[in-house]
Amino acid sequence: MNVEHNTVSLGEFEFDCGETIPELEITYEAYGEFDGDNAVLICHALTGSAHVAGRDRVDSADQARAWWDDIVGPGKAIDTTEYYVVCANVPGSCYGSTGPKSENPETGEPYGTDFPPVTVRDWTEAQRALLDELGIPHLHAVVGGSVGGMNVIEWAKRHPDHVDRIVPIAAAARLDTQCLSLDAIARRAITTDPNWNQGHYYGEDQDPPSDGLALARQLGHVMYLSKASMERRFGRRAAGRDAVRTFPTDAAGAFFPYRDVESYLDYNAEKFTERFDANSYLYLTRAMDNYDLAAGFESDTDALAAFDGDALVMSFTADWHFTTQQAEALADSLRDADANVAHHVIDSDHGHDAFLVEPDNVGPPLADFLEAGIAGNAVTDSVVEDSQESDFAPVHNSLFSR
Ligand SMILES: CC(=O)SCCNC(=O)CCNC(=O)[C@H](O)C(C)(C)COP(=O)(O)OP(=O)(O)OC[C@H]1O[C@@H](n2cnc3c(N)ncnc32)[C@H](O)[C@@H]1OP(=O)(O)O
Ligand SMILES: N[C@@H](CCO)C(=O)O
């Protein structure tokens, strides 16, 4: 597979908030050959990177693991022998693009929390500027999951004439109050870690706020699973004898079992703190929390009025981070805006992260949609009833096909 892994400077960049930085660098990966009208932009999720595919590639050791390797590649759903696939790390993140841990050229020190607040709109405009640099005026499609799905919707809102097809997956027009509150608690775990030091912890003699970041990630990780999948995988059983507690406990606590689910969350949080920057976690969760499709317009439909391409909205029945009801509302707004829309609901008990780990369910409708729009063979369109069940998370919804 032909892969580019580059960092380009986009020069001075003005953020949504009105602040500027003298130089915004964007790290991107691109796969395949551009033929003029086959470009597909992939928007990564909260803690993803530009490194979408190519699990074995060593030049990207500093990136999150190839997070959609089962979906992107030669002969895969997003077929890199057919499409020129671009994915860029978003501003504010920590995988190559400029963010809080980058050096501020004015001080020679890392920005820390002097970095301007970032929004999903900033990500979209940075991607637009990157594509201009790469000589790509028009996109065949924009695809992304989770907050990456919000990034996709923002493309339809801000650059409706630059994209033919959009695929927001496990996403919504805005986050609900329950998830807003969990994100706020997660950020507080970071900012109350004594090592956080108001965001200035990058000195050689300083430790990062790893305990706070680990807690924040654990809250996030629970949001990405479902009640059913956690029950099935871990139940109430105690962790194996080899399991090592990464957080200290007191003598009374040690009387009770260290559970398998705790071991799972501890292990993954520990790994996460080795790969992600705590300030970036603050910045990117705020971007997600702040996102509101209707901002600046009367309604979601008004915000999407200028988009007349095809839209495949995909959702998962046990996702309580972004529910099928929220996806249906988004699909309805697109329908009201006269786009060609299908809401493809996948019956899965995994939860939100199903979009990352269920390529057999995600791949076929995605591939067929890229080829044929909503007429694609594997694309279905379901109506999600707005049932009472939706008041409780996680949910299984009543569905029927249109
Ligand atoms: C764009 C992006 O989204 S990039 C970021 C990817 N997403 C995340 O990191 C979200 C949180 N992570 C996850 O939900 C998952 O790790 C995923 C989605 C990345 C992968 O899911 P799966 O393939 O089902 O992996 P699974 O959850 O089974 O295992 C994850 C790790 O926990 C370990 N693990 C599993 N059970 C236990 C346990 N009881 N105790 C300790 N560790 C455990 C696994 O060995 C594995 O370790 P490894 O990563 O070193 O190989
Ligand atoms: N688990 C994914 C999706 C979160 O929305 C991530 O960490 O990026």
Mean pLDDT of the chain: 94
- Write the burial class of residue 41 (CB in 10 Å: 0-12 exposed, 13-18 middle, 19+ buried): buried
Nearest-CA residue for atom 41 of ligand 1:
264
Nearest-CA residue for atom 51 of ligand 1:
268
- C-beta of 224 in contact with ligand 1 (< 6 A): yes
Question: What's the pLDDT tens digit per position in 15-46?
Answer: 999 999 999 999 999 999 999 999 999 999 99
Q: In angstroms, what is the span from residue 268 Cα to ligand 1's centroid?
A: 6
Which of 85-94, 202-211, 244-253, 362-371 has the least mean pLDDT?
A: 244-253
Question: What's the pLDDT tens digit per position in 309-365?
Answer: 999 999 999 999 999 999 999 999 999 999 999 999 999 999 999 999 999 999 999
- C-beta of 70 in contact with ligand 2 (< 6 A): no
Tokens of residue 111, six digits = 């920005």
The pTM is what?
Answer: 0.95
- Same fold: 3-175+292-372 with 180-284: no
Cβ atoms of 319 and 356 within 8 Å: the answer is no
- C-beta of 325 in contact with ligand 1 (< 6 A): no
CA 128 to mean position of chain CA atoms: 18
Q: In angstroms, what is the span from residue 290 Cα to ligand 2's centroid?
A: 17
Hey, which residues are catalytic here? 146, 319, 352
The conformational region for residue 285 under phi > 0 = left, psi -120 to 50 = alpha, else beta, is alpha
Share of the chain above pLDDT 90, in %: 88
Q: H helices of 110-198, where?
A: 120-134, 147-158, 177-191
The CATH T-level fold of domain 180-284 is Rna Polymerase Sigma Factor; Chain: A (1.10.1740)
Question: What's the pLDDT tens digit per position in 149-189?
Answer: 999 999 999 999 999 999 999 999 999 999 999 999 999 99
Average pLDDT of 196-213? Answer: 97
**Maximum C-alpha span of the chain:** 66
ipTM given for this complex = 0.92
Q: Please give the torsion angle defined by the CA atoms of residues 96, 98, 104 and 109, in that order, rounded to the nearest 10 degrees.
A: -40
> Closest Cα partner for 115 from 299, 358, 278?
278
- C-beta of 48 in contact with ligand 2 (< 6 A): yes
Cβ atoms of 63 and 49 within 8 Å: the answer is yes
In sequence order, the 6+-apart residues with CB closer than 8 A to the CB of 349 are: 226, 228, 229, 232, 317, 318, 396
In sequence order, the 6+-apart residues with CB closer than 8 A to the CB of 251 are: none
CATH architecture of 3-175+292-372: 3-Layer(aba) Sandwich (3.40)
For the chain, domain boundaries: 3-175+292-372, 180-284
How far lies 105's CA from each of 99, 110, 180, 279, 386, in Å?
12, 9, 34, 18, 51
- C-beta of 46 in contact with ligand 2 (< 6 A): yes
In degrees, to the nearest 5, what angle opens at C-alpha 217 toward C-alphas 215 and 218?
65
Cβ atoms of 171 and 144 within 8 Å: the answer is yes
Q: Please give the torsion angle defined by the CA atoms of residues 124, 126, 129 and 130, in that order, rounded to the nearest 10 degrees.
A: -110
Q: Which residues lie across from 366 on neighbouring strands?
A: none
pLDDT of 396 > 80? The answer is no
Binned at pLDDT 50, 70 and 90, residue 401 comes out as low
Q: Which atom of ligand 1 is nearest to the CA of 146?
A: 3
Which pLDDT score is estimated for 240? 86
CA 291 to mean position of chain CA atoms: 13
